[in-house]
Amino acid sequence: MQARISPRNRCTTSLLTLLVMLGACTGISASDASEASPAPAAPTAASRPNVLIFLTDDQRSGTMAVMPSTLQRFGEEGTTYAHAFATTPLCCPSRASIFSGRYAHNHTVYRTGIFGKYFNAWDLSEDPVFFDRWAIESPNGYTGYYGGTWNVNGTLQTVETYSTDYIADQGVHFIHSGEGHDDQPWFLELAPYGVHMPAFASPKYRAASLPPFQLDPSMREQDLGDKPPFVRNRQRERIETILSTRARQLRALMSVDDMVQRVFETLEASGELGNTLAFFLGDNGMLWGAHGITGKQTPYTPSIRVPMFARWPGHIDAGAVDHRFVANIDIAPTVLAAAGVRPAEAMDGRSLFDSWTRDRMLLEYWRLKHPSDVPTWASIRTRSYQYIEYYSDDGKVTFREYYDLARDPWELVNLVHDGTQGNDPSLRPISAELAALRTCVGAACP
């Protein structure tokens, strides 16, 4: 009889369980600007990489200008993924997809550590599974970024240090503590609460200057008559709120940038820099007033697009830009490929080291149990269009959106409800495809 794995534990099973069982890891060929090279020959013990993931909270695409150290370490010394998506634009499902390599509809021998955010509903009295060292904070970490209660390696503690700095301290200590065990690679995730609102900045950055900013067309959109009811019926976000949200989040990111720099300086000093496969990405995006909304959970571009970078000296090209459609579900397959491990169960994502193209993304969201005016939805997004369906609680389609992204990148004109029948797209085949993708598994998934 098999033991039942609860959904929250199952989130981390695919990647971390396999890493715990690792015996050897592989070296990986570098990716170029459009397609990656195939994985090389069998791994050797000497090639086992450490794995490092920086995972920010609610960081939208286009916010890297305030992170010069991160841009240097990842953009100049690694590969930028110019079209990266969060397949479910909400914290916990997205983080589960990073660990599992699966779309959210399929969520059913390394030294490991995690410092920062784990899962919102996690009982802090319970230790996180699959980790050797940890410091995870209670959900009230959002309320002030200071003075939270943390589970630190099984002991509850109150930490007065600014949370991003404390997470950096823990990460640096974790790396130093492994210096006497160079034959044992490690897996480390650093997950600051930045930049989840209220996004308190460190005192040294509270008055920091910010890049110039102009409202884009989606933020200035006045006619919302073609949008779904949850958009039409919302009170439009005030410009003062948009500017305040942006400022708070960008200034909180500056401390994340400091954390990245500190960790890389530690890797250099310990001689581990060249043997570390590192990623930087956000768990989901954020709307700053697009279509009148500030928030996430929606299928619109600022909500689903995230920054994403990877680096591994000698294996991933430095200064390259990869233009493939990539997503959070591709992290776990990439790590396992680098480790020379074949997953026991099918993953929906793909190794970034392999040569492939993805011509569409499946995006999905389910209405939460706690109050939310965003209904369940699913979407197909290609380079030329985005199609979205919204569903009632009994699964019936209640509203549709279709945007010609080539002509309308800001998603201003929903061709299904623009009042012009002559330009209506043929929705039946797209809807049928979306229905099939909503239950896809493994190779059948985009």
Domain presence at residue 36: no
Share of the chain above pLDDT 90, in %: 64
- The structure's pTM equals 0.87
Name the residue among 10, 82, 21, 12 with its Cα closest to residue 332: 12
pLDDT digits (tens, 9 = 90+) for 221-253: 999 999 999 999 988 889 999 999 999 999 999
What pLDDT does residue 25 have? 30
Establish if 28 belongs to a structural domain: no
* Domain membership of residue 408 as a residue range: 46-113+150-444
Question: Is 356 a domain residue?
Answer: yes
276 or 19: which carries more pLDDT confidence?
Answer: 276
Q: Is residue 7 predicted with pLDDT exceeding 50?
A: no
Q: At residue 302, does pLDDT exceed 90? A: yes
- In whole angstroms, what is the distance from residue 275 CA to residue 199 CA? 33
Q: Is residue 220 part of a domain?
A: yes
Any idea which of 31-40, 251-260, 340-349 has the lowest mean pLDDT?
Answer: 31-40
49-58, 87-96, 351-360: least confident range: 87-96
Whether 232 maps to a domain, the answer reads yes
In contact, 175 and 263? CB cutoff 8 Å: yes
Residue 411 scores a pLDDT above 60: yes
Residue 134 lies in a domain: no
Q: Does residue 171 fall inside a structural domain? A: yes
**pLDDT tens digits for range 131-162:** 767 787 765 555 557 777 788 888 888 888 99
**Per-chain mean pLDDT for the chain:** 85
Could you tell me which residues are beta bridge partners of residue 80?
309, 321
Complete edge-to-edge strand list for the sheet that includes strand 361-365: 361-365, 376-381, 385-391, 397-404
CATH of the domain at 368: 3.40.720.10
Residue 420's CB is within 10 A of a number of other CB atoms, namely 9
Give the count of domains, the chain.
Answer: 1
Max CA separation in the chain (angstroms):
70
For residue 25, tell me if it sits in a domain.
Answer: no
Q: By C-alpha distance, which of 428, 77, 91 is closest to 273?
A: 77
| DSSP-derived secondary structure for 48-65 | PPEEEEEEESS--TT-GG
